[in-house]
Chains A and B, each alone.
Chain A
Amino acid sequence: MEKFQFGLEPVTCHSWNKDRTRKYFLIFIEGNWYTVCIVGSLRMKPGMRRRVGWDQRTGGSFPGTWVRGHNMWVEIRERGEGALVCEVAVSLNSHEVKIYQKKGKEYDCIHTLSEHTQRVTSIDWAPNSNRIVTSGTDRNAYVWTLNGSNVWKPTLVILRINRAATCVKWSPEENKFAVGSGARLVSVCYFEQENDWWVSKHIKKPIRSTVTCLDWHPNNILLATGSTDFKARVFSAYIKEIEDKPTATPWGKKMTFGMVMQEFGGGEGGWIHSVSFNNSGDQLAWVGHDSSINLAVAPSEMKVTKLKTTYLPFLSVMWSGPQSLLTAGHDCELLLFKVGNDGSITFLKKLGGNNKKAESKMSAMDMFRGMDKKASTAKDTGKSSVHQNSITCVTIHSGAKENVTKFTTTGIDGLMVTWDYKSLESAVAGMTI
């Protein structure tokens, strides 16, 4: 577990750059040495020269550009395995997005992205195309790209909304993204080559309130949304201008743009705070403000399971394995749930808690100070959880939805914690996750 305190301000949201541990190569292109990670398996040894084709694109990290290996000669100077440049984009409850780079145990702020005029609500960093998309309460979204001179340049996206943008997420193939907003709609944005411009299409019906969360199906077509009208929905976000016709999924066959594939939740349930598809995309989990955790299984006739818990509401839900769900929220703790084959949800364990210091003897001075300040004689040194306030955002640090190895949480206490999932897993003794 690694902790980093950004400051006193709450962390609104955070997003990581591409995989943090990867094979790297130092290659020579057009007079410069670049550290790159090769997409796909490219067998190269130091001193070797070879032509890199279009399909063997190289995701550059220094100077940060997406080096397009378009039929050029590269020379390998060094290869190894290690941490690549590890960067995280965060917004600390302000109009700015800050990019922090990991240096040893500390994080240094290397870029400040300030184009939004009001608070940033959501950030998503596309790993492969190395682009960042941000949304804010100023009703705008920007796509940021790193140019050759190591500066992040914003491009305005025309969202056509009259309320705050609340959440944003790249599709798995990174050719489009969705923005949820208070205007009771989702803007699905894609790049229009002719106009050199990000344009958006709206999904309006039947959303009746602010869209609070989004998640993409792995097929790049379906989009799950959760909103403050207590409902989780699965939409088709198929854009015929840029994509091939999609194949049928358990969620439905017909997939014209904006079509409601499924709708879950009735009058009860509270605001939906987070939705998440599993790795295969056949199951959808969501959490609501009624402290419940819900699961819909598409192949078994949309069977919905609802587990009402005794905790404070969850703000985030994440799949940490094929059969395990991780939630975090106002309780400031991480809870692990097991999903059974029949779609049942059972609570397994609280993770990473119990770091309460041993009760030390209270001095007379402490006692009187406590009585004076807090009108209590109890020695209160904060919560037993790692986070001292609500956890608002959980993301995968290493691994994928089917096998998370590390994940990160940020919260209102301004703390970012990177957890080692495997060691947490082993702490759940005797339980298979």
Chain B
Amino acid sequence: MKLSFTKKNIEALKLILANPPASKEKAVKVTELALRAMSSFKASEVEKGVQSLSKDEVDTLMKFIYKGFETPQDNTCGILLTWHEKAYAVGGVGSILRVLTDRMSI
């Protein structure tokens, strides 16, 4: 999964969201990838990015966001909070609930 994160941010993110990790070992790597994809967005582009996602993709995105909160690094939390705000605006509390209930969590 080597994609240029500079121009095709949205495609990169969609690709990651379309292939959620199957195992726990993979999950760490994919989460890292997702975080990289998310951080390559400009703050002003986030909203547009979220709106181009389907409902299921927003749910998966939310899972990556919460996974990202688990292992905070330098400035990831700030970026994730921006993403969280935009994802919440689309998916609502239902989206957060699905992060909590889904057994196949990332």
Contact = CB atoms under 8 A, between A and B. Distances in A.
A288 B101 contact: yes
A310 B93 CA distance: 6
Contacts of B102: 267-268, 270, 290
A269 B97 CA distance: 10
Nearest to A307: B55
Query: Secondary structure of the B side of the interface?
Result: helix
B72 interface: no
Contacts of A313: 97
B1 interface: no
B104 A290 contact: no
A270 B92 CA distance: 17
Interface residues of A, number: 17
B103 interface: yes
B22 to A, nearest CB: 12
A312 B94 contact: yes
A290 B92 contact: no
Contacts of A292: 94, 98
B92 A268 contact: no
A230 B103 contact: yes
A291 interface: yes
Nearest to B91: A310
Given A308-B55, A308-B59, A291 B103 contact: no
B93 A289 contact: no
A270 B97 CA distance: 9
B101 A308 contact: no
A32 to B, nearest CB: 57
**Of B59, B93, B95, B97, which is in contact with the most chain A CB atoms at under 10 Å from its CB?**
B97
B94 A291 contact: yes
Interface string A264-303: 0001111100000000000000001111100000000000
Interface in B72-106: 90-95, 97-98, 101-104
A308 B95 CA distance: 8
A83 to B, nearest CB: 40
A311 interface: yes
Contacts of A289: 97, 101
A360 to B, nearest CB: 29
Given A230-B103, A267-B103, A291 B93 contact: yes
Interface in A301-337: 308-313
28 contacts: A267-B103, A267-B104, A268-B103, A270-B98, A270-B101, A271-B101, A288-B101, A289-B97, A289-B101, A290-B94, A290-B98, A290-B101, A290-B102, A291-B93, A291-B97, A291-B98, A308-B56, A308-B94, A308-B98, A309-B92, A309-B94, A310-B90, A310-B91, A310-B93, A310-B94, A311-B93, A311-B94, A312-B94
Interface of A: 230, 267-271, 288-292, 308-313
